[in-house]
Amino acid sequence: MRVALLLAACGLALAQPPDPAYEPLARAYESLKAKDYQAAIDSFQKAILAAPERASIRKDLAYAYLKIGENELARAQFRAAMLLAPNDAQVAMEYAFLCYEGKEKAEARRIFDRLRKTGNAEAEQAFQNIDGPLAAGIAQWQEAIRKGADDFGTHFELATLAEQRGDLELAVEQYRRAWEVRPDRRATLLDLARVWKAMNRPEQADAALLAASRAADARTAEAARELLPKRYPYVPEFRAALELDVRNVELRRELGYLLLEMGREAEAEKEFRLLADAPFRDILSATQLVLLLYDRGDRDAAKVYLDRALAGPDQELANRVRAVLRMPQNGHLPVEETRQASPKEMAELSIKAGYIEDALRYLRRAHDASPGDDEVVLKLGWACNILHRDAEAFRWYGLARGSADPKIAAAAERAWRNLRPAQARFRVSGWVFPMYSTRWKDVFGYAQVKVDMHAGFALQPYVSIRLDGDAQSNAPPLLYSQTSLIFAVGVRTPSWHGLSGWFEAGNGANYLNGHMLSDYRGGVNAIRYVGRRLGGESAGRFAEGTVDGVFVSRFGNDFLVYTQSRGGYSVGPRSLRSQVYWNGNLTFDTGRQVWANFAETGPGVRLHSSAMPQSMYLSFNAVRGSYLIHDSFGLRRSYNDFRAGIWYAFVH
């Protein structure tokens, strides 16, 4: 019987699934014994990936962070462990003490208050050490207010102490009073938003953030925008923000423009009148009001605001108003222009004056009045294109392509083709980059042809054929050439501020031996370019940088990071433009493979002729490189290389 029970117990033990975090945890604790805290931290992080719901791992990681002085990182891990194991008093105490050290008194006081109610004497003492001074400070400032103090500093200090003590109603009351005393200090709205959010009043919090996001102080505005929802505000949200910040001219003017875009002209006019009249006397709002009243034919009412706009300090704006209204520069309305201009004429005037939003509004009215006017249709496409409404512009250009007027049809055809790659259901794109290297005395060839499908959602699927090879295979494996054709299917994200992501799965066929190998890869790409471009209108300075993070299965599931930066000058006429620059390149990987860890620097030149396609150029680079890892891979530590190549890309 005993043997049977023992065998059953062994069977049950063997049947238990292995602990996925065992190996990284074993390495972590060995590293802790050796006082190699960074190695221990790396292993704890891997263990968390394997067992993310285990609070004990996060707790041990937090103590490892404390060993190297990373208190903020330790606090974050203690907080995560506390959320996973709310009954672990030790973790909660460590987190609360770190909050107190990090000047987060409100959070520390809240945790100590919870723990002291369970009979924890240490938490009781810590709570009194925080709460006592806060209570005394609140009483002091309240007494000052009772004696007549009504300045910004008094109300703000009282609000700060009340927030730290958890008296959120008092904090809101005093932050609002401080805001009323100093309405020019819109950073106070961030404090109000924070407290309202803690009180679970999201609408009021968003109203305060929206008002702060239109502050003149760039730091306050940016901080508010980071906290707002990632969409454009609705009209009720604008109105709620203006109830809180009635003096916010930028916010009210923006609401007026939004109402105009929505076709609610009467409401927009009301907002512009509020700004154009006392006490604001906003010239931009007066100008917009002139255009609205003039368009309606109310010349007498427009004249009041017109004189104000023309007399303002911004003479460029005044000249634009004169241009729209066909006025001579002396500021008097000509007698022959008293007739009401047509929507098409008003659109022309708005275009000349640079008011593209107004032009679009007038062009839509002109199209409603005369749908067969192909010139209006073409200009609708142009205006939408200028305003980055490419989908709508593509539709207007498509209509104008069928015009009986050959000039309109030809112009629409060119514009339609330029937009088609981004708007068409399917898009074919590709690039080719052959290159010769003196270091390897070999020609390398890189190319890709890809067919994208616009599926109507965030991820865009595609099929791809990629060439990655060379002519003689003189280079070490993987360094420059995989000697393969890679067939793959994948998905990518649209580019957002130069950042995009992708993933694909396929097979690589070695063209030397016919061997097939599964190929999975994906990553992120970021690109930034400032200054004059190679094929641009004028020469001048430029700088560019790219960062690629790529996972490649065929390199042992390695993750590589490539960074390339160039800075220099575009010189010469547009017919033969060149860029002279300095290279700075860095490559490294997580697998610590020798060939994938090196840095390069040196001069380079790009050449582009007007006889070439817009996306083609020649490149010549002389670099000095050095490997960052040393072993017996067979590569010299440092090297020189001269590379000459041709780049060409296309989209259909």
What is the per-residue pLDDT across 606-622, written as a single tens digit (0 to 9) for each? 999 888 887 899 999 99
Amino acid at 524: V
At 332, is the pLDDT very low, low, confident or very high (cuts 50, 70, 90)? very low
The answer to whether 578 and 570 have CB atoms below 8 angstroms apart is: yes
Q: pLDDT grade, residue 192 (50/70/90)?
A: very high
Residue 528 has pLDDT above 70, yes or no: yes
Has residue 339 got a pLDDT over 70? no
What is the pLDDT averaged over residues 204-228?
Answer: 86
**Distance between CA 62 and CA 50 in Å, rounded?**
17
Question: Above pLDDT 70, what percent of the chain?
Answer: 86
Which of the following CATH numbers is that of domain 248-338: 1.10.510, 1.10.3470, 1.25.40, 1.10.357?
1.25.40
The four Cα atoms 388, 390, 395, 398 give a dihedral, to 10 degrees, of: 100
Tell me what the mean pLDDT of segment 228-256 comes to: 88
Residue 566 in this model has a pLDDT that exceeds 90: yes
Instruction: Decide whether 248-338 matches 426-651 in CATH topology.
Output: no
C-alpha distances (whole Å) from 139 to each of 49, 143, 159, 304, 616 are 49, 6, 12, 55, 73
Is residue 9 very low, low, confident or very high in pLDDT (cuts 50, 70, 90)?
low
- Distance from C-alpha of 173 to C-alpha of 179, rounded to nearest angstrom: 10
Q: In the prediction, which pLDDT does 515 show?
A: 72
Q: Is a pLDDT exceeding 60 seen at residue 109?
A: yes
The arithmetic mean of pLDDT across residues 644-650, rounded, is 91
Q: Report, as an integer, the average pLDDT of 429-436.
A: 90
* Percent over 90 (pLDDT), the chain: 27
- State the SS3 of 256-305: HHHHHHCCCHHHHHHHHHHHHCCCCCCHHHHHHHHHHHHHHCCHHHHHHH
Distances (CA, A) of 219 to 113, 213, 215, 227, 299: 35, 9, 9, 13, 43
Quote the pLDDT of residue 295: 73
Long-range contacts of 408-414 (CB under 8 A, 24+ apart): 408/374, 408/375, 408/378, 411/378, 412/377, 412/378, 412/381
Better-predicted residue by pLDDT, 629 or 458: 629
DSSP count for the chain of H helices, then E strands: 24, 12
Report pLDDT for 389. 80
**Residue 539 dihedral angles phi and psi, to the nearest 5°:** -90, 170
Whether the CB-CB separation of 211 and 189 falls below 8 Å is answered with yes
Radius of gyration, CA atoms only, the chain: 33
Nearest alpha carbon to residue 192 among 212, 174, 172, 206: 172
Average pLDDT, the chain: 83
Q: What is the pLDDT of residue 406?
A: 87
Phi-psi region of 97 (alpha: psi -120 to 50; beta: other; left: phi over 0): alpha
pLDDT given for residue 472 in this prediction: 66
Alpha helices in 166-201 (DSSP H): 168-181, 187-198
The class that CATH gives domain 341-423 is mainly alpha
366: pLDDT confidence band, cut at 50, 70 and 90?
A: confident
CATH class for the region spanning 20-134: mainly alpha
pLDDT at 320 over 70: no
The token duo for 277 is: 């009249």
pLDDT at 336 over 50: no
Q: pLDDT band for 582, please (50, 70, 90 cuts).
A: very high
Angle between helices 55-67 and 89-101 (to 10 degrees): 40
Q: Is it the case that residue 87 has pLDDT exceeding 80?
A: yes
Confidence of residue 184 (pLDDT cuts 50, 70, 90): confident
- Predicted local distance difference test score (pLDDT) of residue 72: 84
The highest-level CATH class for domain 426-651 is mainly beta
Cα–Cα distance for residue pair 325/353, rounded to 1 Å: 10
Residue 75 has pLDDT above 70, yes or no: yes
**Predicted pLDDT of residue 311:** 58
Q: Note the pLDDT of residue 331.
A: 45
State the number of CA atoms in the 13 A half-sphere of 333 facing the CB.
15
Tell which wins on pLDDT, 354 or 540: 540
How confident is the model over 13-39, as pLDDT tens digits?
444 557 888 888 999 999 989 888 888
Contact indicator for 386, 356 with CB cutoff of 8 Å = yes
Structural domain boundaries of the chain?
20-134, 183-245, 248-338, 341-423, 426-651
**Highest mean pLDDT out of 245-259, 348-362, 443-457:** 245-259
pLDDT at position 338: 38
Give the residue with greater pLDDT, 417 vs 374.
374
- Give the lowest-confidence range in 286-300, 529-543, 553-567: 286-300
The mean pLDDT value for 160-174 works out to: 90
